[in-house]
Chains A and B, each alone.
Chain A
Amino acid sequence: MPDAPGLELIRGEIEERHPGAVLDTGFAQERAALVVDPERILDVLRWLRETPGQGYTFLSSVHAADYLPAEPRFGVHYELLNMDRAERLRVKALLADPGEDALPEIDSCVEMYPTAEFQEREAYDFFGIVFRGHPDLRRILLPDDYVGWPQRRDFPIGGEPVTFTYNERDLG
């Protein structure tokens, strides 16, 4: 993992190339994280991937988390891995809830990292985060006609009544 000074150096270098893209850095439990402006996420990911000294060419995981009640509410996490140096770096993009029925949006990184295809679909399925430019953004694990975004913190745990034989006719 890049250590704390290394993380600040990375932030400095990204600032030169894409000013204003990195909003914050976080270093805890020996893990480095960059908090990035969601509109600039592709720039930062491309920089980390293609700059000769960086080389974060492997995307281990892209997943989302709901930080309710903190604002901005949704975090999209990109776990990057540099296989040559065996270093991990987390890139976080925090999205606000647009309110009412609108869905938060962020650019999809599928073109750069094809591995994100299923994983972004999962984030859409569970949180309702729209990945602009994803070739096939639809539900992956839940049924296609499911209504609601279950992994959000305000979705109740026992979200829907369990269908048993005694109530299946009432529930439809």
Chain B
Amino acid sequence: MTVNIGPHHPATHGVLRLIVDLEGEVVRDLKPVMGYVHTGIEKSCEDKSYWKVIPFVERMDYVSYFFQAEAFCGAVERLVELEIPERAKYLRTIFLELNRIHSHLVWLGTTALDLGAISMLWYCFRDRDRVLDLFEMAGGQRMHTRYFQVGGVIEDIPLGFEAKLREFIAEMPTRIEQYQALLDRNEIFLRRTKGVGTVSRERLLELGVTGPLLRAAGEPWDLRKTFDHLAYPELDFKVPVGTVGDCYDRYRVRMAEMVESVRIAEQALDALPEGPHIADDRKYVLPPRSELSTSMESLIHHFKLVTEGYRVGPGEIYYAIESPRGELGCFLLADGSAKPARVHFRDPSFVNLQAFRDMSVGGYVADMIASLGLLDPILGGVDR
């Protein structure tokens, strides 16, 4: 029997359509059909100046928006060989880790909801709201803040941000422990996730899967540790790795990652250096507004940047970072004009979805739903 789990479905974590061949309750074959939220972001970016691309790409994987902004801004910065100041690196690291916590909270809330633990949704979203308050304090918006710009961050953190972040850092580990106390040894949760959706490490590597899924299967691969970028080389954190690679391991890996993210944010906040929050190079970065009334060059730079935008010389680059779902890569092809010639995102959800078939075939439909939740796809990233 072929069943269509249509794009409108509360358990598919977005508009994902699954065409499932069932034999009774056992899944024999599975085909994901994507593209229901495809809005042609990559094509639209080709018509926008570089700084206008940032709000576009933020909206691809709409839960981990800072990561897309960092992948794009980082790619441009490497292409034009622009160094960002130390303070900006640490601020970016803090926001990336806060975004990782935010993304994992959304994942935990929605996945636990799928498995029946409805209260988890409310607890996780309560904490998520605290993270969004921090983002709003610094960036002016709760989501898709356009806070990361090429050269650093658009504004320094306001007064009171540090105090509020320290409160969050102090309380979050207790909250995570409370969530673990609810789910870690809960019999229903264990029965739904233990031994479910296991895919071997070799198969995951073949399929190009990265992120918590790969780490749960035992491969300690984390781009924060392997490639030096931002403030990660100076911070001390562990990379949680699972053993079996089933859904329960994926859950434990993500919970441990949240704890590590809190530690990273705390260390980065303690070590936050003084200095400018954005680079000085007026060819790419807007001059401070106070200078516009006194300096003619600043006015000209401001005008050029706001009207045409900065030009990025011919070249191409691929820059990848560790998003909450895996390797998020940005391929940027620049042709020397003020608009990119090609912006392509190697989205982890898109590639990880290839493992879904391996996870579900041979198991029950209910196990398929559990696997999908713990795969953590975000359809905005899948479809772009």
**Which residues of A are at the interface with B, using a C-beta cutoff of 8 A?**
28-29, 31, 57-61, 63, 65-67, 77, 79, 83, 86, 88, 90, 113-119, 122, 126, 139-143, 150-151, 153, 155, 157, 159
Contact = CB atoms under 8 A, between A and B. Distances in A.
Nearest to B35: A141
Interface of B: 34-35, 38, 40, 42-44, 46-47, 78-79, 81, 205-209, 221, 226-227, 315-318, 320, 327, 329, 331, 333, 341-342, 344, 346, 350-351, 353-354, 383-384
Contacts of A126: 42
A159 B46 CA distance: 13
Given A86-B227, A113-B208, A119-B350, 10 more contacts: A66-B341, A79-B331, A113-B206, A114-B354, A119-B351, A122-B350, A139-B35, A141-B384, A153-B341, A157-B44
Nearest to B320: A60
Contacts, number: 96
A145 B251 CA distance: 39
Given A114-B354, A141-B384, A77 B320 contact: no
19 contacts: A29-B78, A29-B79, A29-B315, A60-B320, A63-B344, A65-B331, A65-B333, A66-B341, A67-B341, A79-B318, A86-B226, A118-B350, A118-B351, A118-B354, A119-B350, A119-B351, A142-B38, A153-B46, A157-B43
Given A29-B317, A118-B351, A118-B354, A151 B208 contact: no
Contact of A117 (B221, B226, B354): B354
Contacts of B317: 28-29, 31
A79 B34 contact: no
Contacts of B207: 114-115
Contact of B208 (A28, A59, A90): A59
Contact of A58 (B78, B205, B333): B205
Given A29-B315, A114-B207, A63 B354 contact: no
A66 B46 CA distance: 12
Contacts of B329: 60-61, 79
Contact of B331 (A57, A63, A67, A153): A63
A60 B327 contact: yes
Contacts of A28: 315, 317
Given A60-B320, A61-B346, A141 B34 contact: yes
A57 B383 contact: no
A119 B383 CA distance: 12
Given A88-B318, A140-B35, A150 B43 contact: yes
Contacts of B331: 61, 63, 65, 77, 79
